């Protein structure tokens, strides 16, 4: 059955926006009058939608998800998908189809973190506000419109990362607090020799669970985060102290100065001595 009412805004991005920004392709709202069905595949697009009222279903990645008021979906339209409004309780939706230079990489990262393409956010109003903002921008003649689109879509993607973690992972509730404490422990003890086995035992987390859940919560592995903390501390010493590179290396937790220099150059694009001279 056709939609009862709908509103859509279409946008064709400039070449600059295609190269540098997230950009909307279609922004819309819909109030269905019955079992309204939409199905697509092989689109170079990502779809975000939120159910404002009513309910329906989404078929995506070989699963059928039931969607109710406040539920959101964030999907890759290159994959087959179909969504259908419930006939008895037709839904009202807001959505945006968007793309951009780094959109595919962002979505791959989203899935690699174990985040869910269908989720119920703590505060659905955040997403409703972003989509309303996109509609307002699309209907105006603001000279910085494409930059504003990018700002709102970046906020949308960031909110999807923040709101779509499964409730049963270590990253939620008290277990999430434990990860925060663990990271605070790293900040305090980064200069020491830290074994993930020993750290896991201290916080009653297996090493492999620690690595997986730490990356989900902070976007980086524990080992990489420790190295980042050590290099940040080394940069402070190199700028504001006169200690030798060997001494700095030892003080921030590296046992091998040559390895410290290699890591520093890989992350900063210059050796520690070059950093000291330039900064």
Q: Binning pLDDT at 50, 70 and 90, where does residue 167 land?
A: low
The confidence score (pLDDT) of residue 36 equals: 75
> For the packed helices 145-163 and 124-138, what is the interaxial angle rounded to 10 degrees?
160
Q: Which has the minimum average pLDDT: 16-30, 33-47, 118-132? A: 33-47
Q: Which domains does the chain have, with CATH numbers?
A: 3-163 (2.60.120.280), 173-278 (1.10.10.60)
The SS3 of residue 167 is coil
pLDDT tens figures, 70-81:
999 999 999 999
Q: Which two tokens stand for residue 52?
A: 């404002």
Which residues make Cβ contacts (< 8 Å) with residue 239, sequence separation at least 6?
275, 276, 279
């Amino acid at each position: 059955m056709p939609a009862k009412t709908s509103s859509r805004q279409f946008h064709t991005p400039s070449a600059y926006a295609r190269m540098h920004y997230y950009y909307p392709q279609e922004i819309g709202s819909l109030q269905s009058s019955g079992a309204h069905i939409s199905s697509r595949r092989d689109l170079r697009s990502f779809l975000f939608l939120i159910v404002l009222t009513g309910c329906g279903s989404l078929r995506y990645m070989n699963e059928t998800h039931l969607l109710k008021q406040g539920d959101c979906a964030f999907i890759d339209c290159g994959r087959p998908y179909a969504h259908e409004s419930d006939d008895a309780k037709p839904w009202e939706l807001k959505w945006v189809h968007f793309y951009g230079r780094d959109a595919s990489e962002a979505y791959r990262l989203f899935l690699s973190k174990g985040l869910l393409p269908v989720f119920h956010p703590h505060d659905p109003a955040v997403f409703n506000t972003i989509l309303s903002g996109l509609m307002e921008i699309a209907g105006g003649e603001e000279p910085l419109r494409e930059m504003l689109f990018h700002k709102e879509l970046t906020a949308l993607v960031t909110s999807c990362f923040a709101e779509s973690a499964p409730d049963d992972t270590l990253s939620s509730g008290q277990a999430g607090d434990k990860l925060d404490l663990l990271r605070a422990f790293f900040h305090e003890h980064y200069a020491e020799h830290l074994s993930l086995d020993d750290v896991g035992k201290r916080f009653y987390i297996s090493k492999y669970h620690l690595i997986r859940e730490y990356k989900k919560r902070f976007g980086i592995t524990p080992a990489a985060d420790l190295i980042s903390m050590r290099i940040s501390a080394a940069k402070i010493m190199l700028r504001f102290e006169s200690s030798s590179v060997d001494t700095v290396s030892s003080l921030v937790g590296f046992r091998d100065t040559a390895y410290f220099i290699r890591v520093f150059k890989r992350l900063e694009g210059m050796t520690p001595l070059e950093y000291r001279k330039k900064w």
